[in-house]
Amino acid sequence: MVALVLSSCIDPVVPEFDFEEGLLFIDAIIGTEEGASYVTVSRSAINFGRNVNEFLPEATIFFTNIDSQRRVELLENEEIYLPPTDFVALPGETWQLQIVLSNGEQYESEPETILPIVPITNIGAFYDPQMEFRESSNRFIPGHSVTVDFEDPQNTQNYYYWNFRSFENLPYCLR
């Protein structure tokens, strides 16, 4: 009985936002490493009362090198479009994304130049037994911290893409 009283749970909350159907979402990356480039194309919809982003199959997608006019076709592979496995973009090259959907709609990105690779000077990771305090349970939750130091050139406008995935079991209250 004491264990049940001391355990905590969370109540699911219905999100409060205006969901609009028919919005097009394009997520694309051209990478400087093999296997890092991809494109996903989806459209917002409501299916069986749920807000979803539906993958749009059968699109024709190209990366085009503006300088050399080299066109690289991306092929559909399990709800993602991928270039050939040996495709890489080099710093200094300028690339553009072109998409033609199966219904004939056409989309084109602005040309973007691949920036020079910024060296990583240090990577660190450590376990912290008191990483985060949770008021709901009145205790500290352990976790891992990851740090990356870059040798970033001054006075250069650049952007870095950082992606991570975290998994955590969330106990839901039953009613």
Residue 39, CA distances (Å) to 78, 121, 157 in order: 12, 30, 24
**For position 4, what pLDDT does the model report?**
47
Q: What percent of the chain has pLDDT over 70?
A: 83
Contacts of 15 (CB under 8 A, 6+ apart): none
Q: Are strands 38-47 and 50-55 parallel, antiparallel or unpaired?
A: antiparallel
pLDDT band at 79 (very low <50, low <70, confident <90, very high): very high
Higher-confidence residue of 14 and 63: namely 63
Mean pLDDT of the residues in the chain: 86
Task: Give the model confidence (pLDDT) of 27-50 as tens digits.
Answer: 999 999 999 999 999 999 988 888
Q: Decide: residue 83, CB within 10 A, 0-12 exposed, 13-18 middle, 19+ buried.
A: buried
Residue 13: pLDDT above 90? no
**Residues 149-154: contacts with CB under 8 Å, at least 24 apart:** 149/120, 149/121, 149/122, 149/123, 150/118, 150/119, 150/120, 150/121, 151/118, 151/119, 151/120, 151/121, 152/118, 153/118
Task: Give the model confidence (pLDDT) of 110-134 as tens digits.
Answer: 999 998 888 889 999 999 999 888 8
**For position 90, what pLDDT does the model report?**
95
Full-prediction pTM beyond 0.75?
no
Q: Rounded to an integer, what distance in angstroms lies between the CA atom of residue 90 and that of residue 19? A: 39
